[in-house]
Amino acid sequence: MSDNESTERDTELPAAAEGGQDAAEVRTPAEMPAELPVEPAPELIEALDEAAAASKASPTDAAVQERLWRAAFALDRWLFIARGSDDEPTPFALRSDEGAVIFAFSTADRAHEAALGFGLAEEEASRLLAVPLPSAAAWVASYAEAGVEAMVFDAPRNGAMAPLSNLAAMAVYISQNPSV
């Protein structure tokens, strides 16, 4: 999504029909469960950023795109900017010319920075959903029923976009075809 596209907050995004409240909990970074690292290992973030740079340089190269999504799926969890109530949280979404888009992040700092960039107040920008992988892909994909078209990962830094119709299939493919 480019900076000059018109966007508006999607305040009507319902909780996902499948996996809603049980799939994610609203947490601030300090409240992330102990079983999930507060932040991914630096080498995972480095691999993700290298793959994202290669993706930007070669956006039509399928192998490069696969490397990027493998790096995203190698994380323990994805983070989302939390909207709605703590009982029925939903991920932050924007409506653009392409339709509604959900934003996922690799780190709490990236999520917070993006939330502030989207114009959210500090308190709103600090509310995060941590969703473990691989269930995060199915959870996000379930929002297609609510009219969400795509997920953008690590915006604005990396900004990799995947149609929700491809997300669950990517998770299955990656799990069934480990990289060599």
Identify the pLDDT of residue 64. Answer: 95
Strand (E) or helix (H) holding 118: none
Q: Are 144 and 165 in contact (CB under 8 A)?
A: yes
Residue pLDDT, tens place only, 2-16:
333 333 444 445 444
| % the chain with pLDDT above 90 | 64
Q: Got the DSSP string for 147-180?
A: TEEEEEESTTTT-EEEEHHHHHHHHHHHHHS---
Identify the pLDDT of residue 134. Answer: 87
Residue pLDDT, tens place only, 51-77:
999 999 999 999 999 999 999 999 999
Q: Are 103 and 114 in contact (CB under 8 A)?
A: yes
Phi, psi of 139 (to 5 degrees): -60, -50
Query: Stretch 119-140: mean pLDDT, rounded?
Result: 93
Judged on CB neighbours under 10 Å (0-12, 13-18, 19+), 55 is: buried
Residue pLDDT, tens place only, 15-61:
443 333 334 444 444 444 444 446 899 999 999 999 999 999 999 99
Residue 18, classed as helix, strand or coil, is coil
Query: Stretch 124-142: mean pLDDT, rounded?
Result: 93
Q: Are 58 and 81 in contact (CB under 8 A)?
A: no
Identify the pLDDT of residue 178. Answer: 84
Strand (E) or helix (H) holding 56: helix 42-57
The residues with which 94 forms a beta bridge, in sequence order, are 9, 101
Residue pLDDT, tens place only, 146-166:
999 999 999 998 889 999 999
Task: Spell out the domains of the chain, with CATH numbers in brackets.
Answer: 77-173 (3.40.1350)
What mean pLDDT value characterizes the chain?
82
Identify the pLDDT of residue 155. Answer: 93
Q: Are 169 and 81 in contact (CB under 8 A)?
A: no
Query: Stretch 133-144: mean pLDDT, rounded?
Result: 93
Q: Are 148 and 99 in contact (CB under 8 A)?
A: yes
SS3 content of the chain, % helix, strand, coil (to 5): 40, 25, 35
Q: When comparing pLDDT for 38 and 134, which is higher? A: 134
Q: Are 164 and 99 in contact (CB under 8 A)?
A: no
Identify the pLDDT of residue 108. Answer: 95
Identify the pLDDT of residue 13. Answer: 52
Place of tokens 């909990």: 25
Query: Stretch 92-116: mean pLDDT, rounded?
Result: 93
